[in-house]
Structure 1
Amino acid sequence: MSTIRITKQFNFETGHALYGYDGKCRNVHGHSYKLSVTVIGSPITDSNHVKYGMVIDFSDLKKIVKEEIVDVFDHATVFNKNTPHVELAKELSERDHHVILVDYQPTSENMVIDFSKKIKARLPKNIQLHSLKLQETESSFAEWYASDNE
């Protein structure tokens, strides 16, 4: 039986600020993120199965990632809740802005770790998360691989 990797790509807009950072990213700013989600498994071999020939239906993978990541993070501003940014977050929330408080510095590296946990928890047990690529700009991205995190 063959093992196949399939990938689905997603786009969302998110703002953030890096508390304590020594560069421009300490200021509130945003990115047009591109997230590539790759899962691995074997295509269904039962010719009577409605998903015959698929590892996972792309629409099923889309539903998971949309609910866990895209719908949550799109047009939100992310702050580390363990910093004074919590005051700014409170002010923005009171003005009806969509704010997410996380317990990590909201870098692409930490976001991709967070995303991996959320996606893995929702995948069917016969499908494994292989990798994630979170692209912050045209030339900058963070990657997470299951093989590096076993």
Structure 2
Amino acid sequence: MIYITRRERFSAAHKLARNDWNEDQNLKVFGKCSNANWHGHNYELFVTVKGEVNSETGFLIDLRVLKEIIQEEAIDKLDHKNINLDVDFMQGKMASTEMIAIEIFKRLAPRIENEGAQLHCIKLCETENNFVEYFGN
């Protein structure tokens, strides 16, 4: 079993707030991340896939194909967007880093499997100090 990781970047805005809570309650739970005027991050996305090396190509997965999958399923949809308002796969969900990572995993996994590899992990860095890792299920 071998693992390979691709890094991509995107910038996006979001807000952490529940519509069924008042401003004070959102502020108490989510702090300045509940700012009514949104806020943004320069995210780093690490996509790790695993599997066996193809004896004909020497690849686990063609990295050009992996880049294309990540671009189409995640970066094109997230980069320079408002995650709460513009991103179809985040509609009706809290735009936390945890939820974004889970939804990216769900989008990438089937396409990566079609290429003969398995999605192992999504690591999404929101700041230099905060990141999440999601391994599925």
Q: 2:42 aligns with which of 13, 16, 32?
A: 32
- Aligned to 1:137, the other structure's residue is in SS state coil
- Aligned to 1:124, the other structure's residue is in SS state helix
Root-mean-square deviation (CA, aligned residues, Å) is: 1.2
Larger radius of gyration: 1
Q: CA deviation at 1:19?
A: 1.3
Q: 2:68 aligns with which of 59, 63, 66?
A: 63
Q: Which has the higher strand share?
A: 1
Q: 1:132 aligns with which of 116, 122, 136?
A: 122
Q: Which has the higher helix share?
A: 2
Q: 2:54 aligns with which of 37, 40, 44?
A: 44
Equivalent residue letter for 1:12: F
TM-score (norm 2): 0.84
Give the Cα separation in 2 of the matches to 1:39 and 1:33: 19
Q: 1:12 aligns with which of 5, 10, 14?
A: 10
- Aligned to 1:112, the other structure's residue is in SS state helix
2:113·2:119 contact (CA, 8 Å) conserved in 1?
Answer: no
TM-score (norm 1): 0.77
Which structure 2 residues correspond to residues 61-140 of structure 1 after superposition, within 5 A?
61-79=66-84, 89=85, 99-100=86-87, 102-125=91-114, 126-140=116-130
Equivalent residue letter for 1:26: S
Please list every run of 5 or more consecutive structure 2 residues that lacks an aligned counterpart in the other structure.
19-25
Equivalent residue letter for 2:135: Y
Please list every run of 5 or more consecutive structure 1 residues that lacks an aligned counterpart in the other structure.
47-51, 80-88, 90-98
Percent same amino acid among aligned pairs? 37
